[in-house]
Every structure is written in structure tokens, then in C-alpha cells.
Amino acid sequence: MSAVATIDELPAAYRQGVTAKNLVPLWPLMRAALPHNKPNRRTQPVIWRYRDARPDLLKAGELTPIEKAERRVLALANPGLGLENIQATPSIFIGLQLILPGETAPNHRHTPSAVRMVIEGSGGFTVVQGEKCPMEKGDLILTPAGLWHEHGHEGTGPVVWLDALDLPLVRLLEATYAIEGEPQAVRNEPDSSQSRYRRAGLVPYRAFETPRPRYPLLRFPWAEVREALTALSVITPHGALVRLAYVNPETGRDCMPVLGFSAIMLRPGETVTVPRHSASAVLHVIEGDGEAEIDGVTLSFSESDTLAVPTHAQVLLANRQTKSPAFLFQIDDAPLQRKCGFYEVFD
Ligand code: GTQ
């Protein structure tokens, strides 16, 4: 088809007439709304370096008491999307949260779903629906939509973690709200990763008709994920991606409705292509250093750095170290795109 008409081609009187009735001609906007072959993306490939953000986060600990912050968080905002919109990608909010010894981030629940990935410090914990989840470096904790959650810190020194929420999506739907609650009654038992779901392939016995819990496993300890990746790396051909998905152990499928999670291991000296897909993503460096090339933009990363990956982007990852592996954690909106029926993996 030839080029569509622009708005200027319409008589001024017609334009004013429709505008007064809250009507808008679609055809001049058609290409912006539905570009040919590939989406228009405002999301930029960017990196937030932890060494740069850390002093500002610790300073916030001095400037703002937890009582005045509710959650003491610095948002990682993608400049392409407007800083005030606090979006790392169109669907993903990312924050760095600081909690100091003895502090509590009060109990609440809300419509967005969240996860935490611990960056530094020891002795932090999150209580989700009465289940106390310890938080050590690299641990992933889920707080799905509607579940009560509060954070605390029983150790010494600062605890910092990465928050990932589907907040931008829920805001777009004009459906965000939170409810404050009294502190939860904590069950005196180990979290489900240490009790009900101790090993892959084994789940609590139940007759098959009974409903399965929707969110059976809320904590994925990093020590176990790291061990599983290392074992997988031994049998993975060179050039292929060593990667594990975090799933619901009762279904084997996505563990949350909107956001998906995976862990990638880069073997010493390895450079790999990540299969290109239609979802936007955030990469967080759990361990190691190297380079990411995202749509031709090269960004060198170190431990605890975080990167934004636009939809449809070409991603190349390289481990700079020749003796030690690197580990990255990926958050993406593939589960949402699958539900909407347009998720694609290319090549
Ligand atoms: O810890 O519950 O980064 O409610 C943003 C909103 C963290 C939380 C964030 C939140 C939380």
C-alpha cells in the first residue's frame, strides 16, 4: 500500500469538527499505531551500574527513615520511556531496595506482582502469607498479586535487593492499588523450598482432583540454582545457552502471570547469542563480569549491574573471565505475551 495520508491533508474545519466531538481520524496515526514488520521501541538498551547506585541508596538510608518511605527504593528508570514513568521496560518496574538492621517494611498487599533478587547483605527476610522466606544473595522470592508481604532484617549491615514488578502494566490498566495490613502471624516452619518442594520432580502427594496451590513455591535459593546450572553446563554443547527457567513445581509452567524468570550461566571465556524474542527483558548480573551487546550497543557489566533489553532485541553475552563462570538473571514479560497470543521466538 502507498503511504497513508497525514493529518494536514484534511481540511482544518473537518479536523476541528471531529476534535470537538472527541473523534480522531485513525488513518494519519495508523503507521505509528501499527508499524510494519517490527514494533517502534522507545526503550533504550541501558545499564545501571551497582557501584554507581549503591552510594545513593545507602545515602537514602541516612536521609529517609523507613517509616517515612514505606519502601526505601531507587527505581531504575529507562530514559527512553521518560524517567518520571519509572519503567525499566514498558511492562517492568525495577527498584533497588535498602533495608537496615532492625527495620521493617510494613505489611501490605497490592495488585501488581513482585519478585526480589537479593544483591548484598545477610539476615533479610520477607514474610509472604505467613511464610517466612530467608533472603541471601541471589535468592529469588516471589510476592504474587494479592498476597500479603512485609520485609525485615535480623542481621547486621545493609541488605539490598532488586525488586521487579509488573507495575507499569498494571498502571496502564488503571488497576494499581495497595492495602495496608497488621503485621502477619509468622508460621514457625521452614519455607516451602526447604520443606514441601525440596527437590525437582517431587511434590506433596495429593489426589489428582484436588486443586493445586496457585503459588506453591515462593523462594528459589541461589545455591541450588547455581548448582543446577553448573551441572547443566557440563552436558550443554559449546555455543549453546546454559539456561534454566524458574517454574511452578506443580505445573511446570510460568510461576507468575505476567513476568517470567530464568538464570543464565556463561562458561569461562564464552560468548553466546540469546535467542531473539518478542518480549522485553531485564538482565541482572548475579556473579562475574563481561559484555552485553544489545541491538548493537555494547555495555560492559560487573557483578550486581542491571540492564534493560527492548522487545525484539538482538542480544549477545560474553564472559570476560577465562577461569570463572558468570551468572545472569533474566526477567521478561514472555508469560504475558504468551497469554495474549503473540509471543515469538525468532531464528
Ligand atoms: O517491597 O512491596 O520496589 O510495594 C515497589 C513497591 C517494592 C515492596 C517496590 C512495593 C515494593
CA 167 to centroid of ligand 1, rounded, Å: 10
CATH class of 46-340: mainly beta
Ligand 1 atom nearest 108 alpha carbon: 2
Substitution candidate for ligand 1 out of 71, 103, 133 with most atoms within 8 A of CB:
71
User: Would you state the pLDDT for residue 1?
Assistant: 53
User: Would you state the pLDDT for residue 258?
Assistant: 98
Which amino acid belongs to residue 176? T
Low-confidence stretches of the chain (pLDDT beneath 50) = none
Taking the whole predicted model, whether its pTM rises above 0.85 is answered as: yes
In this structure, the residues whose C-beta lies within 6 A of any atom of ligand 1 are 71, 73, 95, 97, 105, 110, 114, 149, 163, 165
Candidates 64, 40, 129, 77; CA nearest to 310 is 40
Substitution candidate for ligand 1 out of 151, 161, 165, 179 with most atoms within 8 A of CB:
165
User: Would you state the pLDDT for residue 179?
Assistant: 98
d(Cα 251, Cα 262) in Å, to the nearest integer?
16
Ligand 1 atom nearest 149 alpha carbon: 2
Annotated domain spans of the chain: 46-340
d(Cα 271, Cα 11) in Å, to the nearest integer?
57
Ligand 1 atom nearest 105 alpha carbon: 1
